[in-house]
Amino acid sequence: MTSRQFLLVVALVQGVLLAALVVLIILNRWFRLRRSAHLQPRRAAVDDAMRRWAAGAAPLAGVLIGLARLPVSLAIDALVGWSARVPGERWRELAAELEHQWWARVVRANGNSARWWKRLECARFLSVGAMPSDIARLTRLINDPHAAVHIAAVASLERMESTPLTLTALERLPSLAPTVQAYYAGMLRRSRPVVIQHLQKRLRRTDDPALPRLAEFAVRLAEPALRERMTALADHTNLEVRTQVARALGSFPHRESVAALTRLGADSTWEVRAQAVRSLGMIADATTLSLVRGLVRDPIWWVRLRAALALMRFGGAGRNALLEIEVGGNAEARDVAKMILGLPAQALAEFAA
The residue ranges that bind other proteins (CB under 8 A) are 3-4, 7-8, 10-11, 14-15, 17-18, 21-22, 24-26, 28-29, 32, 73, 80-81, 84, 117, 120-121, 124, 127, 147-148, 151-152, 155, 176-183, 185-187, 301, 305, 336, 338-340, 342-344, 346-347, 350-351
CB of 172 to other proteins, least distance (A): 11
Q: Measured from the CB atom, is 39 or 180 closer to other proteins?
A: 180
Q: Measured from the CB atom, is 46 or 260 closer to other proteins?
A: 46
Q: Is the dihedral of CA 248, 252, 257, 258 positive or negative?
A: positive
Q: Measured from the CB atom, is 128 or 258 closer to other proteins?
A: 128
Q: Measured from the CB atom, is 15 or 59 closer to other proteins?
A: 15
CB of 57 to other proteins, least distance (A): 25
CB of 207 to other proteins, least distance (A): 25
Distance CA 353, CA 350 (A): 5
CB of 65 to other proteins, least distance (A): 25
CB of 199 to other proteins, least distance (A): 18
Q: Measured from the CB atom, is 129 or 264 closer to other proteins?
A: 129
